Amino acid sequence: MKTIKTYTISQDTLEKWSRIFVPDRDFFYFRIKPDHFPSHKITKMDQTAFTLDVRTSFLTWSINKKAEFICVMSNKEFQALSTIEKDTIIAEQKALNRGLVFTEDELKGLMKNVNSLEVDNQLEILKRGASFQDIVIVQKCNWDRVSKNVQHTILMNYADGWIEEYALEPEIRENYQTRYPELYPYMDTFPEENGPNCLAAVASAIRSSTDDIKRWMQVEHFLQLLEENHYHHIETSSVHAKDVWIWFNEQDQVVHAAYLLSEEHAFNKHGQTMFNPWQVIQINELKKAWADFTCKIYRKL
């Protein structure tokens, strides 16, 4: 079993990550409508219609707001373009902050702990027909040619950048095994795919069932489950085990939720990607992470 910031990850999970990390099509963004291939104006619907795998890979939420057009293109279509066209596209993706676009130094950093000769060999594979100056677009056709060992190394180092907190000592997690036997196998581990979110994690805790822990749960369904399980909002400063904390934005929309395992720790998942582990987190760290939002306490009554 390997670890990322001391969160455990299995070989099987890494293998599943490697299969979905790089989509088989590219989503290219542009400030000005390109002349030589089809594109269309970006709409809000475009961003929400993409699968979570696509959004996670290309970091669609981080795309520069100046991007106005999008083109979906297969690797084969991209590789068939002229060198000038490819160079222009690559530079534009870097400028607009699209995901899976790295400098050569960034890719070398993601391959740390791999011997230098292999790093050079694998970097050349990733660059084939998909690099401009020192910028590399990672494409499925090249990614699949990279050795499994290097794929897994890249993924582990990439995931490391998504995580702020280190996992707590194993003894802390083990203290909750008897009280929360259903949650215990998931504590301080990574999901195999994108999708599981904080609401599904909390729902699993309040129902003592992990049937839904690997799914993406809608806010409406989550709030309904709270009511069905007799959880109600209370005004209090006290901290109780089995409370649910929910954070709201200024529009009173739910942005996060966590389940208190005790007066010291919570069961939490910071995001809905495969790079966000289910974690046992100190309550103080949880408060810091979501300090920009309003926290409301829900207790079983």
Kindly report, residue by residue over 196-215, the tens digit of the pLDDT. 999 999 999 999 999 999 99
Query: For residue 299, what pLDDT band results from cuts at 50, 70 and 90?
Result: very high
Query: For residue 48, what pLDDT band results from cuts at 50, 70 and 90?
Result: low
On whether both 76 and 99 belong to a single domain, the answer is yes
Kindly tell me if the per-residue pLDDT of 300 is higher than 80.
Answer: yes
Checking 147-151 for CB contacts under 8 A at 24+ apart, the result is: 147/118, 147/122, 148/15, 148/18, 149/114, 150/111, 150/114, 150/118, 150/122, 151/18, 151/21
**Number of domains observed in the structure of the chain:** 2
Q: What is the CATH number of the domain that holds 194?
A: 3.90.1720
- pLDDT tens digits, residue range 156-201? 999 999 999 999 999 999 999 999 999 999 999 999 999 999 999 9
- pLDDT tens digits, residue range 89-101? 999 999 999 999 9
> Full-prediction pTM beyond 0.85?
yes
On whether both 10 and 132 belong to a single domain, the answer is yes
Token duo for residue 125: 């594979």
CB 139 within 8 A of CB 130: yes
On whether both 91 and 6 belong to a single domain, the answer is yes
On whether both 109 and 188 belong to a single domain, the answer is no
Domain carrying residue 227 = 170-300
On whether both 91 and 219 belong to a single domain, the answer is no
- Quick check: is 165 in a domain? no
Domain finish residue from 160, 184, 199: 160
Q: Is 255 helix (H, G, I), strand (E, B) or coil?
A: strand
* pLDDT at position 103: 98
* pLDDT at position 39: 87
On whether both 154 and 186 belong to a single domain, the answer is no
